[in-house]
């Protein structure tokens, strides 16, 4: 029976550590399926209607779309790194989707719908936002329990 692993990925050095962790811990196992997951804020569609201000906004959205393509490419590089660890390419999936509610809720939703066995999270130490709100890892851990492994990589 395959072990299904979810790696939320946000293009940071800590996310690279998560990939390395999975590579070192699971590369020797045969039936492993890995999903690299990134949720993004969608870029709105804009109708310029011959308005110079809207033309400027459209240029900015084009820049944001370019950044999204760079993120897709970076997600593919993460996939390639897992392949280099010895995982079969057809067992590594990249999921790049618009954010539904917020990151923690999207991770929980994905875990529930896809029935992952392991969720690999990381922490961003010193992140000031964590002082004002619950961290993503704490929120996910609170909901993901009962036979599911949660690994937190520092």
Model pTM score: 0.78
More confident residue, 43 or 39: 39
- 36, 65 contact by CB (below 8 A): no
Determine the pLDDT at residue 112: 83
Residue 55 included in any domain: yes
Residue 152 included in any domain: no
Task: Compute the mean pLDDT over every residue in the chain, rounded to the nearest whole number.
Answer: 81
Residue whose entry in the numeric block shows the structure tokens 């997600």: 75
Residue 126 included in any domain: no
Q: How confident is the model at residue 19 (pLDDT cuts 50, 70, 90)?
A: very high
Residue 109 included in any domain: no
Residue 5 included in any domain: no
What DSSP designation does 116 have?
-
Between CA 75 and CA 67 the distance in angstroms is 12
Residue 75 included in any domain: yes
Give the whole-number percent of the chain exceeding pLDDT 70.
Answer: 71
Is residue 46 over pLDDT 70? no
Q: How confident is the model at residue 41 (pLDDT cuts 50, 70, 90)?
A: confident
- Low-confidence winner among 4-8, 23-27, 129-133, 135-139 (lowest mean pLDDT): 129-133
Q: Is 34 helix (H, G, I), strand (E, B) or coil?
A: strand
Q: Over the stretch 97-111, which tens digit does the pLDDT of each residue have?
A: 998 888 888 888 888
Residue 87 included in any domain: yes
What are the C-alpha distances in Å from 40 to residues 2, 60, 72, 113?
Answer: 28, 16, 11, 19
Determine the pLDDT at residue 129: 46
Residue 147 included in any domain: no
Domain count, the chain: 1
Helix 13-26 to helix 52-84 angle (10° resolution) is: 30
- 64, 4 contact by CB (below 8 A): no
Q: Over the stretch 49-93, which tens digit does the pLDDT of each residue have?
A: 666 676 667 777 778 888 889 999 999 999 999 999 999 999 999
Determine the pLDDT at residue 104: 84
Domain that residue 63 falls in: 10-92
């Amino acid at each position: 029976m395959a072990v299904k692993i979810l790696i939320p990925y946000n293009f940071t050095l800590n996310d690279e550590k998560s990939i390395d962790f999975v590579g070192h811990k699971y590369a020797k196992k045969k039936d492993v399926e890995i999903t690299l997951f990134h949720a993004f804020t969608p870029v709105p569609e804009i109708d310029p209607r011959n308005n110079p201000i809207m033309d400027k906004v459209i240029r900015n959205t084009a820049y944001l779309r370019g950044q999204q393509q760079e993120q897709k490419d970076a997600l593919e590089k993460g996939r390639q790194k897992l392949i280099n660890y010895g995982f079969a390419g057809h067992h590594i999936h990249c999921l790049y989707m618009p954010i539904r509610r917020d990151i923690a809720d999207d991770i929980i939703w994905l875990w529930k719908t896809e029935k992952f066995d392991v969720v690999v999270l990381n922490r961003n130490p010193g992140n000031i936002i964590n002082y004002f709100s619950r961290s993503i890892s704490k929120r996910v851990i609170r909901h993901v329990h009962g036979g599911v492994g949660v690994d937190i990589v520092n």
